[in-house]
Chains A and B, each alone.
Chain A
Amino acid sequence: MSIPVLQVQGLDVELRSERGVARILQDVTFTIPRGGTVGIVGESGCGKSTLLRAVLGILPKGAETPRGAILFDGQDILTDHAASARGRIGFVPQDPYLSLNPVFRAGDQILEIMRRHAPGSRADHKRKIVELFRAVQLPDPEGALRKYPHQFSGGQRQRLLIAAALACDPALVVADEPTTALDVTTQREILALLRRLVAERGLSLLFVTHDFGVLASVCQEVTVLYAGRVAESGPVRAVLDTPRHPYTRMLLACHPDRAADLAGIPGTVPAATAQPSGCRFHPRCPLAQPSCAAAAPPMQALGEGRAVACPWYETPLPETALA
């Protein structure tokens, strides 16, 4: 078996600011096998974006000393984000409206990435981009090279950014909620496109989202983050069908498609500067025991590639768990 494309091992990220030290990510571990598609799911503030930025080597100021390891193709890129890793990790950003520089032609912005990270001449690069524009079904692929970002619609821009992510033949594509800024119809088209590209090109994908539905349509594996820690991980279908961690169970029960009436998990996600001791979910958890506050429960393997960070994963939730 070949080495996985991405191995995140015991990743700790702290953000230092005037307000104190925020523990954004703690002991995050997951693996993306070659050709695998892994989704990271969690509420806003759970550390998804920071995780992405760590993988992309653009951690913000104040978070320069992460611990743990991020192995890309077996090479640690966490502390020394080698230039060779850039370009080989394609990035599809969240907001296609804001992620392209308005004063440069779209084609030139992709060419600049290729100039640094892809072999071949400028003419080769242009040919490659037109080919990719065709693959992402951008209308008038040749003409699109010379257009400015504002001359495209939101969906077209996201197609363009997907093409840009593929421009340097990446070993891994990282997508940051690539559909949240789009309307529902466009969302569906973009997801279908991503699915097709993943299947056709055998891409490895790291997909970050807060939406289980979107996740299930693109990914095989899921890692659920809560307040910077992994709550549960496993194959998407299994986790969706039989969630184990109380957080995942409650989160899925809240999903408007499943819940009889709109309900929510009582309480709020703790601030990153004031994380509770032990299991970070225990203040909101109906199954919490005194031991939960003492120490963080370790990940337990459940078989079939599943793991959960809760000893009470078999205890049913009380009827009144959701407010």
Chain B
Amino acid sequence: MAFYIARRLLLALPALLGLVFLTFVLSRVIPGDPAATLAGDAATPAQLAEIRAQYGLDRPILEQAVIHVRQVLTGDFGRSVFSGRPVAEEIAQRLPATLELTFAALLLSTLLGVPLGLVAALNHNGPVDHLVRVLSVGGLAMASFWLAIMLQLFFSMELDILPLRGRVDVEIGMPPLRTGLVLLDSLLAGRGDIFVDGALHLVLPAVTLCLPGLATIARFTRSGVLETLQKDFVLYARAAGYGRVRLAAIYVLRNAVNMVVTQIGLLFGALISGAVAVEAIFDWPGLGTYAVQAILSADYKALLAVTLVVGVVYAVVNVLVDVAQALIDPRVAEDAR
């Protein structure tokens, strides 16, 4: 098992290295001259040249690439062209907010999607199955920005039971930062009031963000369970006298869920890109809003850093997915040898 995990981690390295190069290449083909943006419309050619020299944009492209890779590997993403602050610092501030939101959404979609899919499969072609099908098609088809606004209108404006925007109420304030995750930090600080407030703020964005994932997970769980129910070992288990609930909820589900875990790894990418729109609407101070701002201001340093960080998170999540699969199915780790 340890061997398997080490192998998965090693395999993730070339992918990340490739990502570093790719982001550099991308930054060179993005239209728009960062120096021009930085210098402003009224800059003279002399000022432009000076800025180019300052940011190393006048060096040969290969040299720039090497510098880029070296800087990235040491965690130095340069300074934001927009704010002038170090990009690494800004990202460190915003990443936890996005992670908190995406993990909450992932948790919701898994905790709801797996049981929904299971119940649908056990009631194959019954009313519950049809209901779940409608829900999951709807969940995939729904535009998240529209849903977000509808939720805001109803729960925040009409009913006034959930906060409209942000991570915590201004009057309550953020907990002392340790991990940057509001829910965790408030617990660490022993501030139940902030925890509740943070959780309430999380509800609408997380619900909006979780819907496509929930739909996907429910569908994959359903088909996985249906496929597993056809297996001889299920018939054998019934004949041998397994309990009905245990048979469905543990014996069958563990087989069915492996495909779902793969999906969760893939979903994570969709979740992070989905977070861009959701964060913008709910004014969530995460990477998504940061990326939008960076795009609008042609802040290529910030954009590169966001791309990289998302790539790293994605790679880490997929290593976790591989490990989870090996834990669920012992044959996975052995086949990889």
Flag if B233 contacts A98 (CB, 8 Å). Answer: yes
A86, A93, A104, A150: the one contacting B241 at CB < 8 Å is: A86
Flag if B331 contacts A101 (CB, 8 Å). Answer: no
Flag if B239 contacts A56 (CB, 8 Å). Answer: yes
Pick from A9-17, A39-47, A112-120, A199-207 the stretch touching chain B.
A112-120
- The closest CB in chain B to the CB of A95 belongs to B232
Instruction: Report Cα–Cα, A56/B242, bound state, in Å.
Output: 12
Q: Is A91 an interface residue (CB 8 A)?
A: yes
Q: Is A107 an interface residue (CB 8 A)?
A: no
Q: A98-B231, A98-B232 known; A103 and B241 CB under 8 Å?
A: no
Instruction: Report Cα–Cα, A104/B331, bound state, in Å.
Output: 11
Complex interface: chain A residues within 8 A of B255 (CB): 101-103
Instruction: Report Cα–Cα, A50/B236, bound state, in Å.
Output: 14
Q: A93-B239, A113-B242 known; A102 and B251 CB under 8 Å?
A: no
Chain B facing A: main interface SS: helix
Complex interface: chain A residues within 8 A of B241 (CB): 83, 86-87, 113, 116-117
Q: Is B238 an interface residue (CB 8 A)?
A: yes
Q: Is B330 an interface residue (CB 8 A)?
A: yes
B235, B240, B328: the one contacting A164 at CB < 8 Å is: B240
Flag if B251 contacts A93 (CB, 8 Å). Answer: no
Q: Is B243 an interface residue (CB 8 A)?
A: yes
Q: Is A100 an interface residue (CB 8 A)?
A: yes
Expressed in whole angstroms, the minimum distance between the Cβ of B248 and any Cβ of chain A is 13
B233, B243, B258: the one contacting A101 at CB < 8 Å is: B233
Flag if B239 contacts A102 (CB, 8 Å). Answer: no
Size bracket, chain B contacts: 20 to 34
Complex interface: chain B residues within 8 A of A104 (CB): 251, 254
Q: Is A58 an interface residue (CB 8 A)?
A: yes
Chain A window 77-101, contacts with chain B (Cβ cutoff 8 Å), 1 for yes, 0 for no: 0000001001100010101001111
Q: Is A148 an interface residue (CB 8 A)?
A: yes
Flag if A112 contacts B242 (CB, 8 Å). Answer: yes
Complex interface: chain B residues within 8 A of A98 (CB): 231-233
Complex interface: chain A residues within 8 A of B236 (CB): 91, 93, 99-100
Instruction: Report Cα–Cα, A87/B239, bound state, in Å.
Output: 9
Flag if B330 contacts A103 (CB, 8 Å). Answer: yes
Flag if A103 contacts B328 (CB, 8 Å). Answer: yes
- The closest CB in chain B to the CB of A94 belongs to B232
Complex interface: chain B residues within 8 A of A91 (CB): 236, 239-240
Instruction: Report Cα–Cα, A56/B240, bound state, in Å.
Output: 8
Identify the interface centre among B235, B236, B329, B334: most chain A CB within 10 Å of its CB: B236
Instruction: Report Cα–Cα, A64/B194, bound state, in Å.
Output: 57
Q: A102-B331, A103-B328, A150-B331 known; A58 and B233 CB under 8 Å?
A: no
21 residue pairs bridging A and B, Cβ less than 8 Å apart: A53-B239, A58-B239, A83-B241, A86-B240, A93-B239, A98-B232, A99-B233, A101-B233, A102-B233, A102-B255, A103-B258, A103-B330, A103-B331, A112-B246, A112-B251, A113-B241, A113-B242, A116-B241, A150-B334, A164-B240, A165-B240
Which B residues are closer than 8 A to A by beta carbons?
Answer: 231-233, 235-243, 246, 251, 254-255, 258, 328-331, 334
Given contacts A103-B331, A116-B241, 9 further A-B contacts (CB under 8 A): A53-B239, A91-B240, A99-B233, A99-B236, A102-B330, A102-B331, A103-B328, A113-B242, A150-B330
